[in-house]
Structure formats: C-alpha cells, structure tokens
Amino acid sequence: MSTMAVPRAHAGHRLRCVLAVVCALCWASSSVRFVAGQAGQLSVDASPQTARKMPDKMFGIFFEEINHAGAGGLWAELVSNRGFEAGGPNTPSNIEPWFIIGNESSIIVGTDRTSCFERNPVALRMEVLCGSKGTNVCPSGGVGVYNPGYWGMNIERRKGYKVSLHIRSSDAVSLTISLTSSDGLHKLASRTITGGKKQFTNWTKIQFRLYSSQNNTNSRLQITTTKTGVVWLDQVSVMPSDTYMGHGFRKDLASMLANLKPQFLKFPGGNYAMGQYLRNAFHWGETVGPWEERPGHVNDAWGYWTDDGLGFFEFLQLAEDLGASPVWVVNDGMFSLRMYGF
C-alpha cells in the first residue's frame, strides 16, 4: 500500500519554488556565457501572493496488490487458498498452505475435481482411516487439515468470526472446526458439525460464528475428525464479524486510510493489473458475483495465488466507504510485463 499525500498550499508553493530554481539554472547553463570574475544574481519570487492552491482531487491513495496487501492485509479473509485452487486445475495437486494432521495410517488427503462450483472445480478429499474405537484408533484430537492463514491468524478475545465451508460425504459426518494456537494444542474456539449418512450426500454449505476465549496473534484454523469415512471440503472461509463499515475490510487498516482523507482511490495495482502473462492479468469480470464462484488467478507478477475475494466490486465499495473517487487501473488486453520485456 502506498500513498501519494501532499499538504495543500505549502507543498504546492515549495514545489513551484524548486521548479523555478531548476528551470532558471537549466536556462542559465544553456543560454548564458559566464565571464570570469563576473557575479551573477538569481531572484525568486516566493511570496504567498503568487501561490496557487493545489486541487483537492490531486490528493489520494494508490493500492498495489503486492506481498498479500489485499487478502492477508486490507481484506480481512483469514484463510489462505480457501478454495484449494492454488495448486492448479490438474489433480491431484498441492494444497499449500494447508497442512495434514495425522499420518498415512490414519488419513489420506488429496484433491479432485468434484466441487459444486463450475469455475472452481477443485475440492479437498479426506479419506479418514482411523476411528474412535477398534484396532486403528485416531490420535488424540483427531486427524484432518489445518490452515495457518497469512503468517498466522490474529484472533482476538471475545471477537466473533464468521466461518463458512462446503461439505460433502457419503458417510455420517462429525467434523470439529477450531481456531487454535499455532501448534494446535490450545483451542481458542470450536464447533462440531454432525450429520447422518444422507445429510451431506450433496454439497452443503455450513455457516456459523466462533467466539474466541483468548488473544492469539499466531493462530490457525483446524478441521478434524475421529470418524472413519470420506469427506470432501471446499470454499472454507473465516472472516472477522467486525470489519470496516461491515464490508469485509480490516477495521484498523481501513481506518488508517480513512484518516488520510483521500480524494481518490486508485486500484488494483500496476504490475498486478498487467501480469507477467496476459492470462494472469486482473480480469475484473471474473472478480464479481458470489465469492465462492470467483475462479481466482495466479498473481504471477509477485508470485502467489489470489482467490479474488477482494474484487472489482469490493474496491468500488472501499472507495465509497472512504468518500473517495474510484480510479480503476485498466488492462487494455494488449500488454503484459513480458511483452514490455520485464
């Protein structure tokens, strides 16, 4: 995130003084022949009467999607790679930054193309081999997967977090969704989702809120079970309930932007809008509509996946919330960074 902040009259006044000096020196060096021993004099009129007020509309901010400045920064989504699409459309694929809880004797985790979302076909498949009793008992706490978010999730005591996920299973389901410490040993909040054999035969969206019992700046989301069977997961999201004006932006960061009183908001970035290759440019039409149905894309300008939860509509919403004019960086479909030779 970068700002272009210039104090009003004084900055414009100083800038004109500097430009006047530079122009005068350039003219002097190119047009005047100096005689040895002859003194020169330069006069600059810096009186307030000659100043011009800089228009308010020239003061604003420029959002650059770099180093997870959007999702993982200003956009409050806590789960990274929430749709399991970052590994690419071919399956099985990697699921980073998701990690497996358990070993090969207790769980097999992979991806397949069974999602209910046409533009997001990849889903996570968990085959649980252990159970709560019998010869192959699950380890304490169960097996499953966890997501550390973007360098750890900042979870605050007594704050609410909206959890959303899609579940499918051919067996009875008992999944525990928890916010825990980074090692998984201390639970901050949890909810267990249960259902009979027929309840989750088709993809089912589950939503609820978790309220943390303590503060932890390096937390993670866990999805665990001790029930044998096969479970599919997709579009797993955790968002703070309390966001800036209720529109999904981190309250602390968006408030800092509002305090700048910007007159315009330029988005979504420079290199990000172009992409190393055109196929990975910011295609605004694919960043609108329900967030689960947005295909996302590889931000190859800076080397990471973005699910486009922070899309064209959200940028317009932010501009409105800040009282700023939206300035959209348009990719005309002709150039990428590679075409420019970068």
Name the β-bridge partners of 328: 267
Mean pLDDT by 10 residues, the chain (342 residues): 42 41 42 67 85 86 94 97 95 96 97 96 98 92 97 96 97 97 96 95 98 96 97 98 97 97 95 92 94 95 95 97 95 79 62
Q: Name the token pair of 320.
A: 């409105």
Burial 93-128 (b: 16+ CB within 10 A, else e): bebebbebbbeeebbebebeeebbbeebbbbbbbeb
The residue behind tokens 């579940």 is 167
Dist CA 297 CA 307 (whole Å): 6
**DSSP 3-state assignment of 266?**
strand
CA 330 to chain centre: 20
- Is residue 114 within 8 Å of 230, Cβ to Cβ? no
C-alpha 299: how far from its chain's center? 11
**Helical axes 251-259 vs 312-322, angle rounded to 10°:** 50
Residue position matching structure tokens 């004006």? 245
Tens digit of each residue's pLDDT (9 = 90 or more) over 194-224: 999 899 999 999 999 999 999 999 999 999 9
What is the gyration radius of the CA atoms in the chain, in angstroms?
27
CA distances from 187 to 21, 193, 215, 248 (A): 64, 16, 11, 25
For the chain, which domains are there?
A: 60-69+245-328 (no CATH), 99-240 (2.60.120.260)
* Sign, CA torsion 304/307/311/315: negative
How many Cβ atoms from other residues are within 10 Å of residue 182's Cβ? 15
To the question of pTM greater than 0.85 for the whole model, the response is no
| CA 3/CA 1 separation, integer angstroms | 7
Structure confidence at residue 321 (pLDDT)? 98
Nearest-5° Cα angle at 293, 170 to 173: 20
What's the pLDDT tens digit per position in 93-133?
Answer: 999 999 999 999 999 999 999 999 999 999 999 999 999 99
Cβ proximity of 125 and 168 under 8 Å: no
| CA separation for the pair 263, 147 (Å, rounded) | 38
